[in-house]
Chain A
Amino acid sequence: MKLHEKEMRAVYAETLNELIEENSNVVCVEADLSKASGTNPEVINKHPENFINCGVAEANMVSVSAGLAKEGKIPFCATFSCFASRRVYDQVTISCAYANNNVKIIGTAPGITQGPNGGTHMCFQDLAIMRTMPNLHVYSPCDVYELKSMMHYMAHDEQPTYMQLVRPALKPIFNDSYEFNPNKAVKISEGSDVTLISTGYMTQFTPQVVEELAAEGINVELLHYPSIKPFDAETLIKSAQKTDAVVVVENQNIIGGLGGAVCEVLSEHCPTRVKRLGVPDKFGEVATEQYLFDKHGFGPEQVKEACRLMVNG
């Protein structure tokens, strides 16, 4: 089985096992969602001594992880993104970021990928609220190759970090040779008419958008941002100077996340027309992905249309 045929969570779990085998200080910390994160039975069976279940107590999980990190452990603690960000915001702030304890917080099932759990569990603000926190890196991988490389990077980097994790299998965007660098955006395609920017789950769709627009004669420069923080301003500015038009799409509220970061950089350094696509300041609901894309206007068709409008006015 090729790596990209596996679920993202399966690769999360097998990569955790690899990391534990490299360094026994790596620990898997869960709050009764280990099956959802993919670490049960994968990690719990293989490395039970490195598996810590905190029960349904996310606040305690994050602060316990901080204590583990203080003693040299490298905890990867996972729960749904709604709990891993907004529910434990103060624990991540004080126990991890403020105290500089090397905790890796994994927010699973971000945004619309939460599907049938609906509005209570659909978190559209984790990138926004986590990136406003000092001393916290914020990542969102778009496929298994990036996930794996990112996790290896995280395990070796003594930096409190928040990472989104989509759970199902995803199309390969990269391959085995991919190396994650938090300081660099990835230019997936070179273009001159419009800059399209995406991160995480939405980068599953944007390469196809670029291909289809190319057939229409629109040359799109596609930038993928695996790291929302640190944020590679230089690549964005260079691209915006070239295209003078930016479309940004994310599986998040349009306020404050990747779109917010893009607008902050461009408004200060290179004022450029920007169209933000995502959820327009609404809560989630129980619905299919297509329904939510159409309702909120950030599916591939709407991204294409936004690019056309940017180019053709």
Chain B
Amino acid sequence: MNANVEFNHEEFDALANEFRAVITDIICRSGSGHVGGALSLVETVITLYYRVMNVDPKNPLMAERDRFIISKGHAGPVAYAALAYKGFFPKSWLPTLNENGTRLPSHMDQIQTPGVDMSTGSLGQGFSCACGVALAGKMNGENHHVFCIIGDGESNEGQVWEAGMFAAHHKLDNLVTICDYNKLQIDGTTQEVMGLEPLTDKWRAFGWEVFEMDGHDWNDIYATVNKAKAVTGKPSMIIAHTIKAKGLPMLENTAGSHNIKVPDAAAYQKFMDGLSGKKVELPY
């Protein structure tokens, strides 16, 4: 499938299934990684790259492109799948995740990876960077949007709320942020570790237009992102209700899926066999 294609439910389901196999494979090959928070974002990232964003794989720095910053930089593998499938770099790069000298590090790196718009990984910072990118877009009179994904655990960071105030104050209506609300972080549920609720009220109180969506429902994602894009005068926050490690039932909804260890071939096989979707042939 190529840029901003007609939506076909079955084809998108098949693509999501393939992404989940790729993400799980490249993480498991590398011996460890953040599988849960990458699998929770598959439908959102596919929707952005295939139905929403104006990007050009042949010209990753195209001036008028939409910008995309995953502030929860550990979700790199889901972005790498999308970038490879869109043609920003060869699919053969995918299994090099975290290898010595790789262009695909666990946490996203704008210098290493074509199509990555910001180096992220120290939580909270990418969201502020997205605010700067959005403000520059406004100062330059440009029409593109800035899409940013933050984590729910990441939302514990004070910097997230500093950025939240900043974006509202500067009326960054070209900034659409999606919070991957899978309700789990490393040490447990978000409510156990550091309660976020009432999350939508918090963002509303911060001056944002707030939406909620099912982060695994193609139509809901597409409709909600488009509603967010149409907001004027303030930034938009989409609370995406997601399932951590979606598609890998043995890890779904577990905090442990945040970062898994895959010490040997048996463990690799266990995780790959655990994928709930139809088996796919990996493209590398």
Contact = CB atoms under 8 A, between A and B. Distances in A.
Asked if A and B are interacting partners, one says yes
Interface of A: 27, 49, 52, 54-55, 57, 59-60, 62-73, 90-91, 93-95, 98-101
Contacts, number: 105
Contacts of A72: 136, 140
Q: Size band of the B side of the interface?
A: 20 to 34
Interface in B109-134: 109-111, 117-122, 124-134
Contacts of A95: 119, 122, 125, 128-129
Interface stretch (B162-170, B177-185, B236-244): B162-170
5 contacts: A60-B166, A63-B129, A71-B140, A72-B136, A95-B129
**Chain B interface helix/strand/loop/mixed:** helix
A94 B163 contact: no
Nearest to A65: B132
A100 B165 contact: no
B256 interface: no
A242 to B, nearest CB: 42
Contacts of B125: 59, 63, 66, 90-91, 94-95
Interface string B156-197: 001100110110011000000000000000000000000000
Given A52-B135, A59-B162, A94-B121, A70 B140 contact: no
B153 interface: no
B77 to A, nearest CB: 19
B128 A67 contact: yes
Closest 9 CB pairs of A and B: A67-B132, A63-B128, A71-B136, A60-B162, A99-B119, A64-B132, A67-B129, A57-B162, A67-B133
B139 interface: yes
A55 B159 CA distance: 13
B137 interface: yes
A66 B169 CA distance: 18
Contact of B122 (A52, A69, A94): A94
Contacts of B140: 71-72
A232 B169 CA distance: 44
A258 B131 CA distance: 36
A55 B134 CA distance: 18
Contacts of B124: 59, 63
Given A49-B139, A73-B136, A94-B125, A67 B166 contact: no
Contacts of B119: 94-95, 98-99
Given A57-B162, A57-B165, A94-B125, A67 B139 contact: no
A63 B159 contact: yes
Interface in B138-163: 139-140, 158-159, 162-163
Most buried by B among A69, A72, A93, A95: A95
B166 A68 contact: no
Contacts of B165: 55, 57
Contact of A67 (B130, B158, B169): B130
